[in-house]
Structure 1
Amino acid sequence: MTRFPLAFFSFVALSDNTPENHRDYNRWHLMDHRPENLALPGVAWGERWSRNVEVTGSPCVNDEFDAIDYVAMYWFDNPVEKSVAEWNQLGADSFEWGRGPLIPGVQRPLLGFFRPVKGYAAPSALVSAEVLPFRPNQGVHLTLTRFDDARGVLAHEHHAAEDRELIPELLDLAGVAGVWTFSFSHHQNVTMRPRVNADDPAGSMRIRLVYIDDDLASTTTRLQEAAAAFDTEHGYGRDDSAVQTLASVPLRTIVPFVDW
C-alpha cells in the first residue's frame, strides 16, 4: 500500500525525430513543464525517462508503442480529486500562457491514470518501497500488459503469479532497487488531445515499473530474461493468450543539460 492514491503515465513519441526537436522537447519538459507540475501541492513527485534503443534493442511488442521516445509519470497525493483538478488546470493555464504541451510532432499513444497496486523494495536498496520514487536511479524497466477480461480468472492468476513468483525473483537480481505495480484507472480527459481506446475498463492494463540503480544494459538483460521465462511458463503473450504485453522497454534517466 502507499499513501499516494494515483499515478499518471504519459507515453510520448516525436514523429519528427531530429536532434533539434528532441532538444526543444527536453528543454521544455525539464525546464518548464515538470517544475511547474512539481510545484503543485498535490503532486508528490514526478519523473521522466528516455527510451534507450541501444539496450538489448529496446524491444516493444506492440506496434502502437514501438515508436515511443519518452515516458513521464507523476504521483498524486490526497485529496486526489483536488490534486488532479489543479494539475489539469495548470495544463489549461499553460496553454493560455503559450507554454502548453501542443508541441509540433509530439504524439502521445497513452495518457492514463493508474492506481498504485503494490511496491516492493529490494533488500539491497535499504529503503522502503515508498521511498523508491524519490531515490536516484539509472533508469527503469517498464512493462505494459493488457488483459482481455480485467476481472477474469486469467487476470487474477497473472497478478498472483507476478506477485509471488516473478517479482521476488526480480528483487534478487543485481541492479534492481525495487518494483512498483499499477492498475489502469482511466484515460486523461483532455479534449484537445484526441485518444483511442477511450472505453478501456479499469484494470484492463497493468504497468510493472522496475527501478534500476546499476548498469542499465546488463540489468535490463537479466530482467528481460526472467520476464520472458515467466511469460513462457505461464503461456502469456502467445497469439491466443488473453494476457498480452504491449510494451517492454528499458528507459534511461535524463540528465539535464547533458542529454540534449
Structure 2
Amino acid sequence: MLADLAFFSFVELTDASSHEAYNRWHQLDHRPENLALPGVAWGDRWARVADPEAALSRGSAAGRTGSTTGANSPNGADALAGTDYVAMYWFRSPTEESVTAWNNLGDASFQWGRGPIIPGVRRPLLGFFRPVKGYAAHRVLVDPDVLPYRPNRGLHLTLTRYAEPHGLDTHSSFTWEDTRLIPELLNVDGVAGAWTFSFSHPQQHGTLPFTATFAEPPGGLRIRMLYLDEDPGTTAESVRKAERRLETAPDAPRDVGEVLFSSPLSTIIPWQDW
C-alpha cells in the first residue's frame, strides 16, 4: 500500500478576495515544504467545482435520499457547505514519526511567520484517515498505489457519516460499494481509479490551535475518492447517473449513511487558476 495513513483538510476562505494570496502560499510555500519531508509520500490540493445539483447532498445515504439527522448541526453537512478546497497528504511508516515531523514543520512555519494560521482561512474538517482500498480502471494500466502520482484533472469526493460504523448494515453497504458501485464507476468515462478511506482521528496539533469540529468515532466517517482524467464537472454528471442506476437496483443496500459532502474537485494549475 502506498501509505498507512492519510490526512484530509476541508478549507473555506471567508474573504473572497483572498484566493490568490492563499493559492500562492499553498502552492509555492506550504505544499513544497511538506512534500520535502521524508515521511510524506505525496500531497495535493483541489478546488471545489461549482455544481448546483450535487455539490452537497445533505442528509442522504451514499447518494440516496434519506435521513436528515445532523444536516444542520455544527458538524453536519452545513459545516462543509462553504468548502472551497480539499487538501490531502499520504504518510509513510512509521506514521507516528512522519506525522510528528509534519506537525513540527507546521509549528516551525508559524514561527517563521509563514502560516498555516492565516486570517480568513476556516478549516471545518481536519482529520486522519486509514486507507482502505485502492482501485484502478483497467485502461490506465498503473497500480492503484501509483494513482496519486499520475496526473489528474481533479477528483470526485464523497464524505459519508455512519452512525453505526461497525454495524451489520454498514458492513453490507461497504460490500456493495466494493463489489458493485466502485467497479461500475471505474467504467465511467473519465474515472481513472478510486481510493476509499476510513476515519481514524481528528488532528490534534501540539502547539497550533486547530480545533476538531468533527468528533467522530473511528470509522464514523468514510471517504470515497475518484481520480478523474477528464473534465471534473462533466465526469461528475456521469458518476451521478451511474450511482442512481445502481441505487435503484434490487440488490442495493438500505440507507445507513448520511452524505455530508459530494462534489467534483478540480486540479489547481499554479498561476493559471489564481
Query: 1:255 matched to which residue of 2?
Result: 269
Query: 1:99 matched to which residue of 2?
Result: 114
Aligned partner of residue 16 in structure 2, secondary structure: coil
Question: How far did residue 115 of structure 1 move?
Answer: 0.4
> Aligned pair count?
251
Query: 1:244 matched to which residue of 2?
Result: 258
Please give the alpha-carbon distance, in whole angstroms, between the structure 1 residues aligned to 2:260 and 2:233.
Answer: 21
Give the AA of the match of 2:191: V
Please give the alpha-carbon distance, in whole angstroms, between the structure 2 residues aligned to 1:79 and 1:132.
Answer: 22
The 5-angstrom pairing of residues 65-104 of structure 1 reads: 65-104=80-119
CA contact (8 A) 1:6 1:114 kept: yes
Please give the alpha-carbon distance, in whole angstroms, between the structure 2 residues aligned to 1:134 and 1:66.
Answer: 29
- Pick aligned residue for 1:188 from 177, 190, 203: 203
Question: How far did residue 230 of structure 1 move?
Answer: 3.8
Query: 1:4 matched to which residue of 2?
Result: 3
Please give the alpha-carbon distance, in whole angstroms, between the structure 2 residues aligned to 1:84 and 1:186.
Answer: 13
Please tell me the root mean square deviation across aligned C-alpha atoms, in Å. 1.5
CA contact (8 A) 2:135 2:144 kept: yes
Question: How far did residue 87 of structure 1 move?
Answer: 0.3
Query: 1:17 matched to which residue of 2?
Result: 16
Question: TM-score w.r.t. structure 2 length?
Answer: 0.88
Question: How far did residue 154 of structure 1 move?
Answer: 1.5
Q: Gapped runs of 5+ residues in structure 1?
A: none
The change in CA–CA distance for 1:215 and 1:124 in structure 2 (over 3 A counts) is same
The 5-angstrom pairing of residues 39-50 of structure 1 reads: 39-50=36-47
Give the AA of the match of 2:155: V
CA contact (8 A) 1:154 1:243 kept: no
Question: How far did residue 195 of structure 1 move?
Answer: 2.4
- 2:180 is the counterpart of 1:165: yes
Instruction: Render the CA deviation track for 1:29-61: whole Å, top value 9, x for unaligned.
Output: 0000000000000000001100111x4655212
CA contact (8 A) 1:11 1:109 kept: yes
CA contact (8 A) 1:119 1:181 kept: yes
Query: 2:72 matched to which residue of 1?
Result: none
The change in CA–CA distance for 1:232 and 1:186 in structure 2 (over 3 A counts) is farther
The 5-angstrom pairing of residues 22-41 of structure 1 reads: 22-41=19-38
Sequence identity percentage: 53
Q: Gapped runs of 5+ residues in structure 2?
A: 58-76
Question: How far did residue 126 of structure 1 move?
Answer: 1.1
